Structure 1
Amino acid sequence: MNWEQQLTQWISQDQDMIDALRLVRALKMNEGAIAAGFIRNYVWDRLHGFGARTPLNDVDVIYYDASSKSEERDRRFEKDLMKQMSQYQWSVKNQARMHLRNHHAPYHSIADAMLRWPETATAVAVRINDQDRIEIFAPHGLDDLFQLLVRRGPYFEDVDYFLQRVESKNWRYLWPKLEVITHVRDEDTTSKTIHIRQLQKTDVEAFTDLRLEGLRLYPEYFGESLEEAMKNPMEKIRSKIVSTSDRFVLGAWTEEQELVGVIGFYRESGVKFRHKGVLWGMYVTPSEQGQGIGRTLLQQAIVHARNIVGLEQLNLSIVTTNQTARRLYEQAGFQVYGQEARAMRWNDLYWDEDYMCLQL
């Protein structure tokens, strides 16, 4: 069974979705369909084995009518839908005018408009035609949706907005199996794809290799020494990277399954300190630095931390000479609250450390 057949089957098994689709059909909008979270969330819920549907902020209805681009018409459609199915917050948008908001050339259909949406998995719409058959519109295909991949759409160029949107939606908290993918550019401007996911016990060798590389190349940036790290037994390292409710390590992976970046988190253990968490071990291999991987790892770590019940702040420490990392943390909202002189001593040199905090 292919993805389209699977999606059609799942929708046909949900009477509430069928009723909503028939209601939209009754309004006789040109190319009228229900899109985005109504479909995406349902698939992710099914793939996670959830017994109940994740609540929706709204139900997005899209259509295409170049002859009438009035927003007031959309509002009338929303009122009609609310009268029939008031359990949903309906949002109706004529895609024939959305290019104006996005500063694009005019779109030619709902599928053409969806090509420009932020994520490929969101760019899916469904309708029931006059023959009572389910029709699916997925200009980027259904692979990412069913493979639980959050990938920036190829025609959506605002990387910062994409990352901020993923963070604000809390998708990784609602659906833990999701992988976030960001596209970066290397020096010859060829496209490169990076997957962000939590490390598992099977990733211990890749993590160890990357950690040792960082300690070897940038010994002044880490509290642990290379000699100490090399003595750590594999089981100790494995227990350090395996995720629990109070700790995790995120990794950045290439398409070739090479680990090129990491960031760790743990929650303070004392009863009086449980409101605090600590970020540690941020590192991106030199060949991949300067391409937004560190920023993505940091943003995703903050997303995870914000969804831990009772966690109120994130702390970290950084040597004062590491100005690149400091700027990255400041851009994410961290503020310096103190400094320790001569915090580390290595090779007869002393290193000062700044202490930074982010209120969640």
Structure 2
Amino acid sequence: MTSRPATEQRLLDIVLGNPVCLSYEAEDRVIEKAAALFADVDTGVEVRNEARVHLWYEEHFGVPADPFTSSADAIDHFASTTCCFGITREPGSGLRVYAPHGFDGLFGMVLRPNPVLAPREVYEAKARQWQAEWPRLVVEPWPER
């Protein structure tokens, strides 16, 4: 599997939602093809089959995840509402944007938590990483329950 340096910022995630090919090997083949395709892109690009997340999420983050029903469902579960958006190309009709929380946080550089799945530690780690990259980023705290 292709890995990236720990310090490299990943600015583009490519989300797949293929419930038919759930094996690690199938996902890795797509990752390798994407690495070759995007080799000349200066920013980090990560490709993941979101239909596989439930297979590894609990082991990696300590909480179980139900299988996502679609790419939009996966996006709805991202650790920050600021990151909850996707753009897809619809055959014959151009681009379709999915942004359930809008773009105010993104363009206003305000990171907001989305506590529907990701643990607090995941959000806070991402917040530290992104704030180091973009010092103007305003990070809203995880909600106290």
Equivalent AA in structure 2 for residue 95 of structure 1? E
Change (3 A) 1:176 1:130: same
Q: RMSD over aligned Cα, in angstroms?
A: 2.4
- 2:50 aligns with 95
Change (3 A) 1:139 1:100: farther
Equivalent AA in structure 1 for residue 89 of structure 2? I
Cα shift readout 1:35-65 (whole Å, capped 9, x = no counterpart): xxxxxxxxxxxxxxxxxxxx84464211112
The TM-score, its normalising length taken from structure 2, stands at 0.73
Change (3 A) 1:81 1:160: closer
- 2:19 aligns with 66
Equivalent AA in structure 1 for residue 17 of structure 2? Y
Task: Tell me the matched-pair count.
Answer: 130
Name which structure has the greater RCO, CA cutoff 8 Å, separation 6+: 2
Change (3 A) 1:184 1:56: closer
Change (3 A) 1:132 1:157: closer
Change (3 A) 1:166 1:118: same
- 2:94 aligns with 133
Contact kept in structure 1, 2:38 and 2:45, CA below 8 Å = no
SS in 2 for 1:108: coil
SS in 1 for 2:81: coil
In the TM superposition, 1:197-212 aligns within 5 A as none
Q: Which has the higher strand share?
A: 1
Change (3 A) 1:127 1:184: closer
Instruction: In structure 2, list runs of 5 or more residues that go unmatched.
Output: 1-7, 58-63
The TM-score, its normalising length taken from structure 1, stands at 0.33
Instruction: In structure 1, list runs of 5 or more residues that go unmatched.
Output: 1-54, 190-360
- 2:5 aligns with none
Change (3 A) 1:75 1:157: closer
Distance 1:109 1:93 in 2: 13
1:82 aligns with 2:48: no
Larger Rg: 1
Cα shift readout 1:290-318 (whole Å, capped 9, x = no counterpart): xxxxxxxxxxxxxxxxxxxxxxxxxxxxx
Distance 1:58 1:175 in 2: 12
Distance 2:32 2:120 in 1: 35
- 1:109 aligns with 70
The structure 1 residue matched to 2:133, chosen from 174, 184, 188, is: 174
SS in 2 for 1:97: helix
Contact kept in structure 2, 1:61 and 1:90, CA below 8 Å = yes
